[in-house]
Amino acid sequence: MCGRFVKKSSKEELRKRFGFDDSLGGVMLEPRYNIAPSQEHPVLILNQDRRLLRMMKWGLVPHWSRDPKIGYKMINARSEGIEEKPSFSGPLKKKRCLVIADGFYEWHKPDKKTKIPYYFSLKSGEPFAFAGLWDLWEKGDEPLYTFTIITTSPNELMEPVHNRMPVILSESDEARWLDPEITDSKDVLSLLKPYNAEEMECFKVSTIVNSPKNDVPECLIPAN
DNA sequence: CCAGACGTTGTT
DNA sequence: GTCTGG
DNA sequence: CCAGACGTTGTT
DNA sequence: GTCTGG
């Protein structure tokens, strides 16, 4: 699931919504229409009480990994049992992050041959945050920052299309997700639930979104 | 104790 | 790093 | 996630 | 079939 998303809000819109004071050099906030695993994306973390954005690669590589290729398999983390997974238990305590987005795609596969892409977003049109985890790998030539997006069961809107959905945090939960003082896993895990379907919408889109090479606005054109 | 794995989705 | 299996 | 490639030797 | 690249 959740192997593509969109970030089209401007830097000003995002700053207003998420209140980051600063951003590291190299943070790119150009609109994106087809963000795929292994690509760089701005991720919001808390650094000494300040919200800051940093570019990270999608596909979590645990800091102890021998081979960073493991990241190709770590684009999502199931919320169920997440605290028991060696790759995620550490980051769940101290490396929680917000993955900012405006929407995401999911493919409905009614049978083996059919694949229909849908675009999901908030009815408000506002950007939102996926619940994410990040880590830093330093066994290569360069420091490697990576992240993963947590998944849960689908809400009523997504259920007909797919059996999983990414965790979208309600705005009031975002600060708690980032708060390093909250270490009790019960408190943290209580935030990982399906988003309110009433506040979301979706529609079919063109299959041009199927190729991750097509990072173009046409990905969002409604289809039949 | 040490060695070895550490993941998800989707499909069968 | 941390957990499981032997 | 999906799309696309999947190899070596030897030469530059 | 499986891995890499986007």
Q: What is the ipTM of this complex?
A: 0.81
Q: Is A75 within 7 A of strand D by CB distance?
A: yes
DSSP A163-181: S-EE-EE-HHHHHHHH-TT
| Span A19-42, pLDDT tens digits | 997 778 789 899 999 999 999 999
| Span A91-121, pLDDT tens digits | 999 999 999 999 999 999 988 788 999 999 9
Closest-lying nucleotide for A85 based on CA to C1':
B6
Going from the C-alpha of A155 to that of each of A24, A58, A122, A194, the distances in angstroms are: 35, 24, 13, 6
Q: Is A212 within 7 A of strand D by CB distance?
A: yes
pTM of the model: 0.95
Domains of chain A: 4-220 (3.90.1680.10)
Report chain A's C-alpha Rg in angstroms: 17
Interface residues for strand B (CB within 7 Å) are A 1-2, 64-66, 73-74, 76-78, 81-82, 85-88, 107, 109, 112, 151, 162-164
